[in-house]
Structure 1
C-alpha cells in the first residue's frame, strides 16, 4: 500500500491510485484510462488552474485540447447557479 494521509486500512475505500494492490472491480482498460486522465490533469489542468481562475475563463486553446481528448463532458468552467442541480 502506498503511504499517504489519505489511505485507510479498510478495504476498497481509498482511491485506487493510493493502493498498490489490484482492485477486483477495475479492468486493465479502466486503469489505463485512469492513468491517462491523472497524467493529463497533473500536467495540463493543475498547473494552469490558478491562472484560469484569476482570469475567469479557460483559454480557447486549453478548452480545444480538452475537447480533442474527449473530456468535453467534464466541465472546465463554473456553471451558472441555475444550471447546477
Structure 2
C-alpha cells in the first residue's frame, strides 16, 4: 500500500470503530501536526505511534464529537494532508 492508501484505510477502520486495527497501521515514525489555538489540548506535533495514541486518549478525554467526515486527502511524496 502507498501512503494515501494507508491513511484512507486507517480512517476507514477508525470510523468503523476498529481502533486497534487502525492504530496498527500507524508507523513508528509517523508525525501528526494539529494546527490551532494553544489553548486546545490536542493542538501540537505528535510523533510516533505512542504519541499519536496519546493524542487520541487526550482527544477522548476533552471532546465528544458529534460527527467526523473526511473532506479531502492531499498526498505529496511521503506525506498525506487530510482535511476533515
Pair in the same fold by TM > 0.5: no
TM-score (norm 1): 0.30
Give the helix-richer structure, 1 or 2: 1
- TM-score w.r.t. structure 2 length? 0.31
Larger Rg: 1
> In proportion to residue count, which structure has more strand?
2
